[in-house]
Amino acid sequence: MAQPNTLPSTLPELLQARAFVQGTEQLTYLNTDGGVSKVISYADLFNISSEYARRLLAAGLTQSDVVLASFEDHESHISLFWACCIAGIPFCPLPALHPDPSRQIMLFNHLQSLFHKPTLVASAETIQGVLALVPDLKTLVPGELPAAGADTFHRVFPARRPLPSDTVCFMLTSGSTGNSKAVKLMHSNLLSSVRGKIRHHGSTPQSRFLNWIAFDHVACVTEVHLHALEANASQWHVSPTAIIRNPLNLLKWTSKLNITYTFSPNFLLAAVLRDLPEASFDEPIDFSNLRALISGGEAVPMKTAVAFADVLETFGARRDVLRAGFGMSETGAGSIYDTRPIPKFDDLNGPRYLSLGKCCNGIEMRVVDSDAGRICLSGEMGQLQIRGPTVFTEYYGNKRATEESFTNDGWFITGDLAQLDGGGNLSLVGRGKDCININGVKYPTQDVENYVEDAKIKGVLPSYIYVCPMRLENADTETYAVFYQHDIVVEAGVDAAQKRAIAIANRSIKNACTVFCSLPPHVVLPLPRSSFVKTALGKVSHSQLSKAYLEGKFNDLQAVLEAKDESDVDDAADKLSSPVDQVIGEIIGEIFSVDASSLRRSQSVFDIGASSMHLLRLKQVLQERLIIPLPTIELLKRPQIGELCDYLSDVLEAEKQGITQVAVKYDPIVCMNTTGSKPPLFLVHPGVGEVLVFVALARQLADDRPVYAIRARGFDNGDPTFDTFGEMSECYAEAIQRIYPQGPYNVAGYSFGGAVAFEIGKSLEAQGKDVSFIGILNLPPHIKFRMVELSWAEVLLNIGMFLSLIPSSALSPMRQELKRVFPEVAANDTKPEDPLGPINWLFDNSDKKRLLELDLEIGAFTRWVNVGYEINRTGRTFEPQGCVKNALTTVFCAIPLPSMGTREEFKQNRLSVWKEFSGERFEMIDVDGEHYTMLSEEHVASFAAHMRGALRRAESGLASPASSVTLSMDVDLDATFDKLHPSEVIDVRQVGTA
């Protein structure tokens, strides 16, 4: 054990020293609502981790191994981190695994090679998924480790004492590809880093730390966890989603817990300033104890800093609390900070961004003119270089990268362009190592460039794609541009056809970038050859391209490429020119009642007002006239007319050559809207299985969030229907996590889909996921009686009503007539051997105009009825149990089917029962229309407003008004709750004080 007056030289010595101190310092894990999940003393952490370390060794690990860690919670990561420290095994925390399996394979194959067969320690569920992709990876599940024998005591600390130069962990420089560099951090690096922070910020045992950054980020490991431990101070950890989902939680919990030290990147500062004017807090905010709110990851605009410092000061903090800092994985997080007070005014002639200040103990910096080989004077821009015991010494297993990153005299080249002011304070003015920085998450530009190149977009020249970060005037955060060379020589002038080809390439590049890093580029522009000036090493300066664009040097070219050619309007816009294009254009024009000659490839069918019924008819007519199959899913994936034309052209060509189309693997997820910064909304199909009913809602929602629909199995390619309700809901839950692995989750279901959404929410929450919203569209919780009623004949009639082939008022007499004409079909609860008779009878008795509009193909319609029957059959076993504890459960109440009585009776007797299966937050909202028309074009705008309001309440963490006030059905909530849509009315007569 370290002597009392000697500072610990390794991390196990530090934890042991803190374990022997008698005090109240502790480690607290919070749940997503800010409540305490678990409290553990440093003594308990030491004892638990020591036992964990011995069990790792008992499982066969040695000090020559590397442990990869993949968990979603801080507790699992921290326990394993310390177990590895005590056992002397290097530890490497992984970022959240990418939903694309190919990217996971790339990552693990790279780490297998880099670390020479490392061992992944993770949950059984995570390991099962990874092993399906990388079967030869060594793995361990914590709960399945063998007991440790007596022979392991001598192999762990304190019997085995590490050296200060031993490796503690490897931090990966980028989680976006499989080619991450591994930053090797030693005991000496980490202890130097945290001691420098303590000296710089004045941390003491009375300090209180709050962390919400994931453990794979060095800001969690050293900025808070080890920093607090070295200071012998208490620390609190909460899931990142709890803060990102509701940025105001950072203010609430900092105040409630009397926090002195926490972290907020610039994008979160901007989000707090955006949300604060409309916020209300249960308790007064008090920041009088706050000493340091660190902001790193990207530059903080001075206007944001001044506004945020005003907020802090209003709540009792000093103006020096907001502290911009510079740090990297290579420096153990923050190592340079500005502790000076924030100015009270944003001087237009002053600096645009906060200074980063001066170095902590353990690090020194210099700015170098690398071309001239000299140290820059104050105010001169140059290359930032740093050195000191805090700075790492190598990228593990990558000698070339290490050599390229250090000067001959031992200074680390950060890759940033910087300058020092007269007082020695650092400011960054650019980045040499190009990354795009999206809300604090860095994506190496080369990775994005490679991804675009791999897409093999027609006309885009390989090796001439440049992704360039930039910050627009007065913008809160960074964006980026993509400049590239097209095989069309743009400097020679372009005609209309060439403009069209360039526009298609631009759109494809934009789509690829959005898939890779979740944010589309600000601009995509092909440039003249002369714009790409290469150095002797064959490199093009990304920063110079960005600078030229921002200075307007490409404005004329951009205007030419985007201008309409008035001399030839048809050629100027991307008209439908090929024979197939023209046939498809005529069909679209006919269905949407628009002039086919006005249609353009760049248009989306949603731009011309596509409804679910339009798409149904479009599918049928395209199939009939082109004489090819068109799965609905393929139509939904290609709403852009040009993309649909290209797909159908390829199908026709394949048919012509006798090439059999490869069946598309079933995927329940249908993307209705790709864009938005908020967590997505997932919409589960109704009992008829299709998702076209959500088309208008996705268009009308306009809530800055992606919208995905979940479609049933069985429509296409001979896919079987689901056998059980559980199989269905689990399949959907897995698909949702594949699309959006981190949460929080918003799931709603229409009619039958409401029960499925409820089960999905339970499944996600049981896995420790954050579920913020469950929406149930006009379905009671007890549905077995209704599912039993839904025989094949009843499903046939309900789909007819769903498609408006028959009105709801005609349902009862149609049912009686069907029994008379087809008594055996009506009486039996099975699919008829010959379904065409009843289906043709339905068509004969349908609204002829509506039937003509839909142009239904009888084979596809028969399959639809069968799928609907099987879906509802699975619901006969559904019994609601439990609840989605942390979600807001919202029941949207429409006029029910006639057999269910009036709306008030339906709500009172059936819908209100959902309260028994909800958490603390529950509400019921009246919506316009009947059960089958609530999402129709007539009512969808008002429904979308109700949905926006519910999502806002869910994500704000606020309870529904039902918790505090009783409202009649006619009360205008605009004046009573958080500025909701004026028509948003909540019925609490059945809710009470939920």
Whether residue 618 lies inside any domain: the answer is: yes
The angle formed by the CA atoms of residues 214, 220 and 223, to the nearest 5 degrees, is: 160
DSSP for 510-527 reads: HHHHHHHHSS--SEEEE-
Query: Could you give the C-alpha distances from 614 to 610, 671, 846, in angstroms and in order?
Result: 6, 18, 18
963 and 917, same domain (yes or no): yes
The predicted structure's pLDDT at residue 962: 36
Q: What is the pTM of this model?
A: 0.55
Region 988-992: mean pLDDT is 27
Whether residue 613 lies inside any domain: the answer is: yes
CB atoms within 10 A of CB 425: 17
Taking only the tens place, the pLDDT of each residue in 560-604 is 888 765 444 344 446 788 888 899 999 988 888 788 887 888 777
Under DSSP, the state recorded for 961 is G
Whether residue 194 lies inside any domain: the answer is: no
**Domain's final residue, options 518, 539, 569:** 569
**Residue 533, SS3 per DSSP:** coil
872 and 888, same domain (yes or no): no
**In 3D, which of 720, 739, 790, 731 has the Cα closest to residue 756?**
731
Q: Place 2 in a pLDDT band, splitting at 50, 70 and 90.
A: very low
Taking only the tens place, the pLDDT of each residue in 313-366 is 999 999 999 999 999 999 999 999 999 999 998 877 778 789 999 999 999 999
- Best mean pLDDT range from 88-92, 353-357, 829-833, 926-930: 88-92
The predicted structure's pLDDT at residue 992: 27
**Most distant CA pair in the chain, distance:** 98
Q: How many CA atoms lie within 13 A of 262 on its CB side?
A: 26
- The span from the CA of 964 to the CA of 954, in Å, is 16
**In 3D, which of 461, 457, 449, 567 has the Cα closest to residue 503?**
457
Region 702-711: mean pLDDT is 87
- The span from the CA of 187 to the CA of 526, in Å, is 49
User: Phi and psi dihedrals of 518, rounded to 5?
Assistant: 70, 5
Whether residue 590 lies inside any domain: the answer is: yes
Q: What is the CATH number of the domain that holds 46?
A: 3.40.50.12780
**Domain's final residue, options 832, 850, 876:** 876
**Residue 121, SS3 per DSSP:** strand
Q: Which residues of 308-322 are buried (b: 16+ CB within 10 A; e: fewer)?
A: bbebbbeeebebebb
Structural domain that includes position 474: 435-569
- Best mean pLDDT range from 395-399, 544-548, 894-898: 395-399
774 and 914, same domain (yes or no): yes
Please report, to the nearest 10 degrees, the dihedral formed by the alpha carbons of residues 684, 687, 692, 694 taken in order. Answer: -40
Whether residue 131 lies inside any domain: the answer is: yes
Taking only the tens place, the pLDDT of each residue in 728-740 is 999 999 999 988 8
**Residue 325, SS3 per DSSP:** strand
> Is the peptide bond between 444 and the residue preceding it cis, with omega within 30 degrees of 0?
no
The predicted structure's pLDDT at residue 352: 78
758 and 812, same domain (yes or no): no
Structure tokens, 277: 């004017």
772 and 886, same domain (yes or no): yes
Whether residue 465 lies inside any domain: the answer is: yes
**Residue 918, SS3 per DSSP:** strand
Residue 237 buriedness (CB in 10 A; 0-12 / 13-18 / 19+):
buried
Q: Which residues of 355-379 are buried (b: 16+ CB within 10 A; e: fewer)?
A: bbbbbbbbbbbebbeeeeeeebeee
Structure tokens, 378: 């104050």
Question: In the block, which residue shows the tokens 């316009």?
Answer: 928
DSSP for 157-198 reads: TTTS---TTSEEEEEES-SSSS---EEEEEHHHHHHHHHHHH
The predicted structure's pLDDT at residue 696: 83
Whether residue 581 lies inside any domain: the answer is: yes
866 and 885, same domain (yes or no): no
The angle formed by the CA atoms of residues 679, 685 and 686, to the nearest 5 degrees, is: 135
476 and 559, same domain (yes or no): yes
Residue 963 has pLDDT above 50, yes or no: no
Active site residue 255: no
**Domain's final residue, options 550, 569, 588:** 569
- The span from the CA of 370 to the CA of 364, in Å, is 18
Q: Which of 751, 772, 791, 846 is catalytic?
A: 751
Q: Place 762 in a pLDDT band, splitting at 50, 70 and 90.
A: very high
- The span from the CA of 467 to the CA of 269, in Å, is 26
Report percent pLDDT > 90 for the chain. 50
Q: By mean pLDDT, which of 446-455, 646-655, 815-824 is the weakest?
A: 446-455
Q: What is the CATH number of the domain that holds 546?
A: 3.30.300.30
Q: What is the CATH number of the domain that holds 593?
A: 1.10.1200.10
> Is the peptide bond between 8 and the residue preceding it cis, with omega within 30 degrees of 0?
no
74 and 173, same domain (yes or no): yes
Structure tokens, 948: 């926006």
Cβ-Cβ contacts under 8 Å for 566 (sequence gap 6 or more): 572
The angle formed by the CA atoms of residues 61, 64 and 69, to the nearest 5 degrees, is: 60
Taking only the tens place, the pLDDT of each residue in 184-212 is 999 999 999 999 999 999 999 999 999 99
Number of compact structural domains in the chain: 5
Structure tokens, 518: 């979740």
Q: Edge-to-edge strands of the sheet including 138-140?
A: 138-140, 119-122, 67-70, 91-93, 167-172, 182-186
- The span from the CA of 121 to the CA of 80, in Å, is 9
Segments of 278-328 assigned E as strands: 292-295, 322-328
455 and 535, same domain (yes or no): yes
Cβ-Cβ contacts under 8 Å for 921 (sequence gap 6 or more): 887, 888, 889, 953, 954, 959, 960, 963, 994
More confident residue, 753 or 805: 753
Judge whether 921 and 960 are in contact, CB under 8 Å.
yes
**In 3D, which of 240, 310, 324 has the Cα closest to residue 277?**
310
**In 3D, which of 894, 927, 899 has the Cα closest to residue 911?**
894
Whether residue 984 lies inside any domain: the answer is: no
Q: Give me the chain's average pLDDT, please.
A: 85
Taking only the tens place, the pLDDT of each residue in 301-322 is 888 999 999 999 999 999 999 9
The predicted structure's pLDDT at residue 984: 32
598 and 451, same domain (yes or no): no
Residue 11 has pLDDT above 60, yes or no: yes
602 and 455, same domain (yes or no): no
Region 218-235: mean pLDDT is 96
Q: Which residues of 956-989 are buried (b: 16+ CB within 10 A; e: fewer)?
A: bbbbbbbbeeebeeebebeeebbebbebbbbbbe
Region 655-681: mean pLDDT is 78
Taking only the tens place, the pLDDT of each residue in 911-935 is 999 999 999 999 999 999 998 889 9
Which strand (E) or helix (H) includes residue 280? none
804 and 930, same domain (yes or no): no
User: Phi and psi dihedrals of 477, rounded to 5?
Assistant: -145, 170
Q: Place 978 in a pLDDT band, splitting at 50, 70 and 90.
A: very low
**Residue 605, SS3 per DSSP:** coil
User: Phi and psi dihedrals of 837, rounded to 5?
Assistant: -60, -55
